[in-house]
Structure 1
């Protein structure tokens, strides 16, 4: 299962309403596809989640006979977590009451949960948290971060410090220190309240 490839891919068509593409995923050390901005937002959240160790987009085709008719459905993501597998379906909140969507998710959930897997429906995330994650994702790759600056920050007690204060109390240039600190937040080496927009006043906390 872990070596599965996407069941389907996407096409770029002039005038299409959805936004498809590839996201370079730290968890995968490679690209993962998405078919909409909402799927990209969910993928970003999964890449940030330390409990997710593997992500497959469009992982397989589900088939079931419902009310005498053969039904088919391809989930958006399959996430491998420490607690097991989770099938993720991404759908805008204003479409969740659509009878066709409700019916599809009902039988798909039954099929998935009968295997002992988790089933999740993801809709629009909190806009502030998404803004923060999009920003932090710019610092997710270790290749662009100074190892010496990272070592210096890791040697300091950052808990309770404001983000701006932690940056200026290093010998490194502020842009380098700031980039290293954002990388540490992405890696969950230090925490911050992501329900509030990140700023120099954001208070750092220790990760349990």
Structure 2
């Protein structure tokens, strides 16, 4: 199949519903399904000598676990979880199949389906550039075309930037709501309204042992913000009010979000 000629009528889709029922049909009919809530289309295997690492990531966005089949997929899940514009995601959400130009049946299971705050869908495949063979590239091209046909976006992503990923992993350790202390959070928003050093600002609020976890939680939620690509988080990292908030408000109008 020529990717430039793909239509939603050419693609068959198979998925497992939240109730565990396997469904199948044309993409043109099934695309409205809430794929961010479906079960994985296939199992995550574990066996002796396995070359990849499978597991389950505890997502703050989803309030539950999302599966992954490699450390690279786990990192991508964490980045999606960190994105305030993501409202839901599912791993191995469905299997696509189509007939190739030589008459063979081709199958492909994308790694993730993502729902964004504006209601749009995003299909994600995780594969480093150096591991893309010609057959893989052809599958990604058809998958991207199929997504365009139904109004979804498609991304093929590789290895994230090392400093960014190290910082997000650190903040991810404070993603759980149990870390949040509203009175401390509100004070941190006041302290960093005009920006300032991470540790100095925390000490203005109180004991760093009690304050820093709340600060990291607010950074995870984007209530506060830092440049995560400039360097590893440190005492001198400059902290400011976040530009993206829950509810789509700006930093000034939504400073009260920290007290929730």
Aligned to 1:164: 199
Output the CA distance in 2 between the equivalents of 1:28 and 1:13.
28
Aligned to 2:49: 15
The 3-state SS of whatever aligns with 1:205 is: strand
Aligned to 2:226: 192
Q: CA deviation at 1:12?
A: 1.0
Q: Deviations over 1:23-79 (max 9, x none)?
A: 100000011100000000100000000010000111111111121221111100000
Is the Cα contact below 8 Å between 2:174 and 2:217 reproduced in 1? yes
Aligned to 1:132: 167
The 3-state SS of whatever aligns with 1:14 is: coil
Match 1:78 to one of 105, 113, 124: 113
Is the Cα contact below 8 Å between 1:192 and 1:205 reproduced in 2? yes
| Higher Rg of the two aligned structures | 2
Q: CA deviation at 1:114?
A: 1.0
Output the CA distance in 1 between the equivalents of 2:143 and 2:52.
24
The TM-score with structure 2 as length reference comes to 0.76
Q: Deviations over 1:57-105 (max 9, x none)?
A: 1111111112122111110000001341010000122112x11111111
Match 1:94 to one of 125, 130, 148: 130
Is the Cα contact below 8 Å between 2:110 and 2:124 reproduced in 1? yes
Unaligned runs of 5+ in 2: 1-32, 244-260
Output the CA distance in 2 between the equivalents of 1:201 and 1:152.
19
Is the Cα contact below 8 Å between 1:146 and 1:176 reproduced in 2? no
Is 1:146 aligned to residue 181 of structure 2? yes
Aligned to 1:175: 209
Q: CA deviation at 1:135?
A: 0.4
Q: How many positions carry a matched residue from both structures? A: 206
The TM-score with structure 1 as length reference comes to 0.94
Q: CA deviation at 1:8?
A: 1.1
The 3-state SS of whatever aligns with 1:165 is: helix
